[in-house]
Structure 1
Amino acid sequence: MTDKRAVLEQVLADLTAEGDQLEAAVVGLDEAAWRTPVPAEGWDIATTIVHLAWTDESALAAGTDKAAWDALVLAALEDPQNFVDVQAFEGARAPAPEILARWQRLRPAVVAMLRAYPEGQKLPWYGPPMSPTSMATARFMETWAHALDVYDALISAGAMTARPEPTDRVRHIAHLGVRTRDFAFGVHGLEPPTDEFRVELVSPSGETWTWGPEDAAQRVSGSAYDFCLRVTQRAHREDTDLVAVGADADRWLDIAQAFAGPAGAGRKATVHGG
């Protein structure tokens, strides 16, 4: 097995585990519970799971069905600002068992497609084409981030007591967060810094993960879990333990964004009552 193949297999295994964890949280919910609002404005658990299923469908089309993929792209071009939300809201009109079954069918299908995709080739996507590993990483990030929304909704409703314990699976998101530094600056209309940053993060298991030169002047440090919350905009910067050294690194933590699309509004701070 090549190194690239081994990396892909690890991401696919972690994607499956993350999806299994979320599925276990929603599989026993009744119809009313599926309509519990999540922190994303206007969304509920149903629209969240539909969104994951729809994105899986898009990935499957990109990797296996050119005609279906082309139709998706044309539909997105007709309404680029609202296309994603429209798909979520329309799909959420279905009864909860249908939504769940749709997602359950698509999750393993995407994993199988990415595993079988020719090594060295890239899948078309709404942004730049993506390798199977990059697509799997993006699916992991979305699954993890939207799962947090669902867990928070269930906690607010009294159906869960706490989020699942963090795991080192978040390394995929941390790596993506570091790699998308320049994208985050660009999507905010800012010129990306020319110097590399040093990023030092402590994993949930206590390991130290690092990126960038040891002697870099611009630095970010803290827990990997908080960094992943930040780059997926699931936590305000003030609610994390992240520390920046240098003006550019400090600015990055304000605007960090590992997901595609326009700059997100993020979450309000809670530590100071904001």
Structure 2
Amino acid sequence: MPDPSVVAVFADLREEGRELDSLVGELPVAAWAGPTPAPGWSVAHQIAHLHWTDRAALLSLTDAEGFARMVDEALEAPDSFVDEGAEQGAALAPGELLERWRAGRGALDAALAAAAPDTRFPWYGPPMKAASMASARLMETWAHGQDVADALGVRRTPTARLRHVARIGVRARDYAYAVRGLPAPQGEFRVELTAPGGAQVWAYGPADAPQRVTGPALDFCLLVTQRAHRADLGLTATGPDADRWLGIAQAFAGPAGPGREPQGPSR
């Protein structure tokens, strides 16, 4: 019998894709060229990037040699391959890009469900099991979906699916230091996040840890995906190490991003 927690993350990934699809599925053609908060990226670039990374995940699950070739291509242009992939997709007609993204999501969903649950599949970082890959895809879909929502002036209702993003953000603490060439703090932090709706608290790390982060789960997820500046979020750090972490946190693989500029009270 499939592990219910694994089945749940696959379902959450499907739902995250559907929510973003509901934002872009009926957009007029001109709106696809509209700018998003990511410099140089339009709505089309955001969807094209998700399609590109979904395809990479599908290759990882189904064609190890094909994925290895994709990695080799990335290594030939490490500073530009992400933008180049987005540019190629964004050059398509919006209707064609939308259909390709939808088909890719469906193929990835089927491949995740068929994957051996304990097998680790190759990725740009450490190999991952299918459930972890689904969580990572959900995190990226949510983050790029936030860019699209911001571009369209839509305020999304946060859901319990954010627990996947929050968990990755916590687990990626030491990576945020490593990617900047900094030593990671000793010991775990305590992270307590108020879940959407306010009825639950998602807690990570030892209850008695002196270094602590508290606040809304949505704000933490916006921080670790670098979709909002810390100054615009209701997160509290206790201890100098926790405070420093909130200035560099990232949940995504790759170089440290520039983050977003503070927006002030109007956000």
**Partner in structure 2 of residue 185 of structure 1:** 177
Q: d(CA) in 2 for partners of 1:173 and 1:23?
A: 19
Report the identity percentage.
Answer: 53
**Partner in structure 1 of residue 36 of structure 2:** 38
**Partner amino acid, structure 1, of 2:241:** D
Offset of residue 223 of structure 1: 0.4
**Partner in structure 2 of residue 238 of structure 1:** 231
**Partner in structure 2 of residue 199 of structure 1:** 191
Q: d(CA) in 2 for partners of 1:241 and 1:215?
A: 22
**Partner in structure 2 of residue 50 of structure 1:** 48
Offset of residue 272 of structure 1: 6.5
Structure 1 position 94 matched with structure 2 position 67: no
**Partner in structure 2 of residue 132 of structure 1:** 130
Offset of residue 115 of structure 1: 1.3
Question: Which residue, 215, 218, 227 being the options, matches 2:211?
Answer: 218
Query: What's the RMSD between the two structures over aligned residues?
Result: 1.3
Offset of residue 135 of structure 1: 0.5
Q: d(CA) in 1 for partners of 2:124 and 2:205?
A: 29
Q: d(CA) in 2 for partners of 1:266 and 1:10?
A: 31
**Partner in structure 1 of residue 245 of structure 2:** 252
Per-residue CA deviation, residues 81-134 of structure 1 (Å, 9 max, x unaligned), is: 110110100121110001000001011211111111112111111111111111
**Partner in structure 2 of residue 267 of structure 1:** 260
**Partner in structure 1 of residue 145 of structure 2:** 147
**Partner in structure 2 of residue 175 of structure 1:** 167
**Partner in structure 1 of residue 158 of structure 2:** 166
**Partner amino acid, structure 1, of 2:166:** A
Q: d(CA) in 2 for partners of 1:195 and 1:127?
A: 23
Question: What stretches of structure 1 of length at least 5 have no aligned partner?
Answer: 156-161
**Partner in structure 2 of residue 20 of structure 1:** 18
Offset of residue 204 of structure 1: 0.5
Q: d(CA) in 1 for partners of 2:187 and 2:72?
A: 38
**Partner in structure 2 of residue 158 of structure 1:** none
Q: d(CA) in 2 for partners of 1:168 and 1:87?
A: 31
Contact 2:178-2:184 within 8 A present in 1 as well: yes
